[in-house]
Amino acid sequence: MDKRLIVALDVFDGKLALEITSMLKEIIFAVKINWPLILGAGPGIIRDLSRYSRVICDLKVADIPNTNALITGKVAELGAYGIISHVFTGTDSLRAVRDAGRNLKLLAVVSMSHPGGSQYINRVHSDLLKSAISAGADGVIAPGNDETLLSQIRETGADLVIVSPGIGAQGGSAARAIMAGADYVIVGRSIYESSDPATAASGITRQIHEGIASRSTGMNTLS
């Protein structure tokens, strides 16, 4: 079965993150980790999780090129599969992530799924998308809980991989996000807070494949 689910592990506990990843490794495409887990368990958690699954580091890198390169180089050294970077700091900063990332998949944030995204970043998603393409990003982050915006981004970036958060706890539907243009969906709390994460992940996977069956365009892939 084609794996299109990425599980966000927004937890502090490294042991819990490893347990969930081991449990879901046959179901998911990757795990996404953020600052809470890295600060709680230490950077070595990237290497530990990589034994079970691809690891995407959601650091939302957003600094000058030199600092971006230093952060990205360390993430690559620890065995990550991908890294998430902001675009608004400029194409030069995003290219620094691309160049320092070795074989890392670069996902660029062109819009966000929380309400505050509509204040600033979502208003300029078209410009950010153009910069992401120019910098050679492998894909972009676009909200799965805003199907209109997601469809617009898919139309402009037809060949780009789109990875969509905002599913579940933020109101988005995995099936509808796929139909609107997402290639992968990110789900966190609905899975890691569940009493049965494997069953929850399997249910979302079924929704993803319902969306694929109803989609009018082909799917793009990261791997």
Q: What is the pLDDT of residues 117-169, one digit of tens each?
A: 788 888 888 899 999 999 999 999 999 888 999 999 998 877 889 999 989 87
Place of tokens 């505050």: 116
211 vs 223 pLDDT, higher one: 211
> Is the per-residue pLDDT at 107 higher than 90?
yes
Looking at every residue in the chain, the average pLDDT score rounds to 94
d(CA 143, CA 147): 8
23-27, 66-70, 144-148, 162-166: lowest mean pLDDT where? 144-148
> Is the per-residue pLDDT at 191 higher than 80?
yes
Mean per-residue pLDDT, 4-26? 97
d(CA 155, CA 162): 11
What was the pLDDT predicted at 111? 87
Give the predicted TM-score (pTM) of the model. Answer: 0.95
Q: Are 161 and 222 within 8 A, CB to CB?
A: yes
d(CA 157, CA 154): 5
> Is the per-residue pLDDT at 217 higher than 90?
no
> Is the per-residue pLDDT at 13 higher than 80?
yes
What was the pLDDT predicted at 172? 86
Q: Which fold has domain 5-214?
A: TIM Barrel (3.20.20)
What was the pLDDT predicted at 1? 60
> Among 98, 211, 108, which residue's Cα sits nearest to residue 160?
108
Mean per-residue pLDDT, 3-24? 97
For the chain, domain boundaries:
5-214
d(CA 177, CA 208): 8
> Is the per-residue pLDDT at 223 higher than 80?
no
Classify 42 as helix, strand or coil. coil
Task: Provide the annotated active-site residues.
Answer: 60
Q: Are 119 and 163 within 8 A, CB to CB?
A: no
What was the pLDDT predicted at 97? 97
What was the pLDDT predicted at 156? 85
Q: What distance separates the 2 farthest-apart alpha carbons in the chain?
A: 44
d(CA 164, CA 86): 15
Strands 161-164 and 184-187: parallel
